[in-house]
Structure 1
Amino acid sequence: MASVPFHYVDLRTFCYATEDEKRVEGALRRFLPEAFEIERETSEGYHGDRIVVLSARVEKADDVRHVLTELSELDDIDEVMEELDDRVDDNCSFFLRLDKQAAFGGRSRRGQGITLRAKVEAYPAKREKAVENARSVLEDVRADA
C-alpha cells in the first residue's frame, strides 16, 4: 500500500460507569499504533452517571496504515467494501462501527461500541471519487492481509 487516501481517521468510544476504563481504553488501542495518545473527556449521563469519552485522531500516513491493517482482519471486509456507497457520505467521510467487546479480546469485528470515521481524500471532492479511493485502499489492505 504505497499511498493512503485518507486525511485522518477518528476513533471514539464511551466508557460507562459500569465499565472498567482501562479495559475500554485497551479495546480502543486495538486499532491504534503503539503508545498513541488518547484524549479523555468526562461527561454526565441522563441519570447523572459518569461517562468518559475516549477518542483519538490518527493523521500520519504510517499511523493510518496501521489502523487500516487492523481493519483488514475483519471477517467481512468484502461486505464492508460492497457497502461503501452507503458508508461514505457527501462530505467524503467513511463510517464504520466496531465491536468494543471483540476489540478488548484482541479481535476485529463489526458491531457496537467503537465508532470509526475517516476522511477520504478525493480530488475533486465528490462522493463517487471518495468511494472509489476507499474501495481501492480496502482492496490493497485485503490483498496484503
Structure 2
Amino acid sequence: MSSVPFHYVDLRTFCYATEDEKRVEEALRTFLPEDWELERTESEGHYGDRIVVLSARIENADDVRHVLSQVATLDDIDDVRAELDDRVDDNCSFFLTFDKQAAFGGEVRRGDGITLRAKVEAYPAKREKAVANARELLDEL
C-alpha cells in the first residue's frame, strides 16, 4: 500500500450516559495510532441525558495506513469490497461502521457504534472514480 487514495479519515463514536467514557475511548483507540489526540464534545440527548462525542481526523498518510491496517483485519473484508457501490456517496466519501463493544476488546468487526468516513481522492471528483480508487485500495489490503 504505497499511496493512500484518501485525503483524510474521520472516526467518531458516541458515549451515552450509561457507558463508561474511558472504555468507549479505548474502543475508538483500537483504530488509531498510539497517543492520538481525540476531540471530545459534550451534547445533550432528547431527555437531557449526557452524550459525549469522541472523534478523530487522520490526515497524515502514515497514520491513515495505520487505520487501514486495522480495517484490513476484518473477517468480511471481501463483503466490504462487494458493497463499495453502496458505501461511497456522491461526495466521494467512503463509509463503514464498526462494533463498539468488539473494538473495546481489541477486535475489529463490522457493526454499530463507531463510524469511519474517508474522503476518497478522485480526479475528477466523480463517484465512479472514487469507487474505483477505493476498490483498488481494498484489493491491496
Q: TM-score with structure 1 length normalisation? A: 0.96
Task: Indicate the residue corresponding to 2:88 in structure 1.
Answer: 88
Separation in structure 2 between the aligned mates of residue 13 and residue 135 of structure 1, nearest angstrom: 25
Query: Which residue of structure 2 lines up, in the alignment, with residue 49 of structure 1?
Result: 49
Deviation at 1:9, TM superposition (A): 0.3
Alpha-carbon distance between aligned partners in 2 of 1:100 and 1:139, rounded to the nearest angstrom: 25
1:48 positional shift: 0.7
In structure 2, what is the equivalent of residue 19 of structure 1? Answer: 19
Alignment root-mean-square deviation, CA = 0.5
User: Mind listing any 5+ residue stretches in structure 1 that lack a counterpart?
Assistant: none
Show the counterpart of 1:128. 128
1:90 and 1:37 map into 2 onto residues whose CA distance is: 30
Cα deviations across residues 15-35 of structure 1 (Å, max 9, x unaligned)? 001100000000000000000
1:139 deviates by 1.0
Matched residues, number:
141
- Alpha-carbon distance in structure 2 between the residues aligned to 1:88 and 1:129: 10
Distance in 2 (CA, whole Å) between partners of 1:44 and 1:128 is 38
Distance, in Å, in 1 between the alignment partners of 2:140 and 2:36 is 24
State the percentage of identical aligned residues: 78
